[in-house]
Structure 1
């Protein structure tokens, strides 16, 4: 059987074990050329989320022996899921493998946005020092209202990490948290998304990207009526659409 691992490092490696031929494609210059070469022989294709092998309908049709498409992480938007389902392929990912990393990354982005860090950083890099030019758009996170759209594993971890900052924490989700966990985190459930968004100084999108989670039409009224900047922190998501 032929096993193909698609990643982003520095070489191309083949080896065989227990009747498996395993190919690691680890150089960006070889990635797609090697993928096209081996598609007809593949039984398993493993791809990373940050430099994915785009599995299109055309490639699926060429992969007559393919049985499993696996993301070494999470996310499957690089795979044509309808074509994979039609071909009877299993599409899998390592669910939950990066929830801590994503929650911490979101907290970092919130602080960078609210504290107006990047313009200050660029000032220093350019040899400038204009504190007033930065501080008029820099805010304390304490006392701000942070709302997360989606409170699954990542959303809950983010809310837990925000609690020490003394923020007002809101969340919208299809399922309400267990009351004990909700009290522990100090977050308030908002059943109505359109009612929650205008209350927020910071909005975080923590849902998978589907046709039902394109929130542009919910967010545009908030942007147009806000009395102060509204910060959006979005992880691998699209705000534009007609969902």
Structure 2
């Protein structure tokens, strides 16, 4: 192997020391899958809000009960959906910018995390930040897992603070 291409932001999932030792180039094609990630985030949001996975499973079992699905399905209409974005990205999509992350998250009914993993984002979604989220918020993370504290997310889910 001479080249290992990573399509996305970040190469933290590749052993770069081993690549150097074996003289393997690791080019990063940042931005190559921006649309794919956005689409993935949107379909994840719709799957959650419309309760589509349980609906599909119910249909597969031949037990379709629309009232059961509808009871746990929600509309996006009137909901505040937010994602932490760099200033340039926020301007590109004409988003309203909120400078303070804690001020940002308490306003949102759903937060989607799509940022790159680096020193400033590792462990970003932690117990302290989760306390600032609106009760009942939904979180969709299409970014690296290390951006969130797994135990803090599990505790917030168990307590019902997040969905």
2:36 to 82, 101, 117: 101
Q: Which residue of 2 aligns with 1:235?
A: 142
CA RMSD of aligned residues (A): 2.7
Counterpart residue number, 2:64: 129
Question: What does the per-residue CA deviation read over 1:8-37, in whole Å, with 9 as the maximum and x for residues that have no partner?
Answer: xxxxxxxxxxxxxxxxxxxxxxxxxxxxxx
| Contact kept in structure 1, 2:3 and 2:25, CA below 8 Å | no
- Residue 51 of structure 2 is aligned to residue 116 of structure 1: yes
1:215 equivalent in structure 2 = 124
- Structure having the larger proportion of residues in strand: 1
Q: How many residues align?
A: 144
1:191-206 residue pairs with structure 2 within 5 A? Answer: 191-206=99-114
Normalized against structure 1, the TM-score is what? 0.52
Q: 1:114 to 1:219 in 2, by over 3 A?
A: farther
Q: Is the 8 A contact 1:114 1:139 kept in 2?
A: yes
1:199 match: secondary structure: coil
- 1:210 is displaced (CA, Å) by 2.5
Paired with 1:236 and 1:80, the residues of 2 have a C-alpha distance of: 19
C-alpha contact 1:205 1:237 (8 A) present in aligned 2:
no
| Cα displacement (A) at 1:97 | 1.4
Contact 1:116 1:138 in 2 (8 A): yes
- DSSP 3-state at the match of 1:109: helix
User: Structure 2: any 5+ residue segments left out of the alignment?
Assistant: 151-163
Do the aligned residues in 2 keep the contact of 1:84 with 1:91 (CA within 8 Å)?
no
CA distance in 2, matches of 1:128, 1:222: 39
In the alignment, what sits opposite 2:3?
Answer: 45
Q: TM-score, normalised by structure 2?
A: 0.74
Bigger radius of gyration: 1
Work out which structure has the larger RCO, using CA pairs closer than 8 Å and 6 or more positions apart in sequence: 2
Measure the CA separation in 1 of the matches of 2:19 and 2:57.
Answer: 47
